[in-house]
Amino acid sequence: MSAPLAEFLGTMLLILLGDGVVANVVLRQTKGHDAGWIVITTGWALAVTVAVYCTNAISGAHLNPAVTVGLASIGKFSWSLVPAYLAAQMAGAFAGAVLVWLVYLPHWRATSDAGAKLAVFCTGPAIRHTASNLIGEIIGTFVLVLGVLAVLSPANLVPGSGFDKGLSPALVGVIVWSIGLSLGGTTGYAINPARDLGPRLAHLVLPIPGKGGCDWGYAWIPVLGPVIGGVLAAQVYTSLWPAV
């Protein structure tokens, strides 16, 4: 399997399971309706873990343009591969959102709240405040990328243990879980441009009864904020751990 194809499939899995848990909680007449924030953050953490385990050995399991651009900015990933990775991640996110729509097909009509339907696909602020929302996405993604780089740092690996291959995907899931629990209450913690924009485009084109608008006025924040946060985290990592 090629690396871009792995990124497509991994991001598709990420969104299928991540947006899937949101659908289970917010759509009407599901088994998990109103299960709450803990279920959503746990579901997203497990989604990341599964997706990373499935693709880590093939593509490095970026699954996130902020990770790809951040790594490229410090020379840990080739800029020539960035366009293919970003395209695969965006397409995978779109495909994953379509699968969620199919899984929950009867529940869209059963749900009258257009905002809940949009929330299945993409993030939105609890309180709309442009500067605060952008800062929140920058900080959340900063923690994600710095945490991922630290987990994979040679200083944190036991030689010959297989730690990096066996446990690192689960630890990435823990990082995402921590971000969701601690920082996610303001914007819904996109921390991934493809995770937000790909499904938002799916919401735009899918025939969802009473779906309302896509909130394009907000859509740039979960794209720009994570890219800034990812690049900043990568730069800080190389400054603090110059030997890695």
Instruction: Report the interhelical angle of 130-151 vs 221-240 (nearest 10°).
Output: 40
Q: Are 136 and 218 in contact (CB under 8 A)?
A: no
In whole angstroms, what is the distance from residue 65 CA to residue 1 CA? 20
Q: Tens digit of pLDDT for each residue in 123-133?
A: 999 999 999 99
Residue 159: DSSP 8-state: T
Residue 75, Ramachandran bin (φ over 0: left; ψ between -120 and 50: alpha; else beta): left
Q: pTM of the entire structure?
A: 0.95
Q: Check if the beta carbon of residue 94 is closer than 8 Å to that of residue 205.
A: no
Number of domains in the chain: 1
- Indicate if the pLDDT at residue 157 is higher than 90: no
Domain ranges, residue 39: 3-240
Q: What is the CATH number of the domain that holds 117?
A: 1.20.1080.10
- Summarised one tens digit per residue, pLDDT across range 17-67 is 999 999 999 999 999 999 999 999 999 999 999 999 999 999 999 999 999
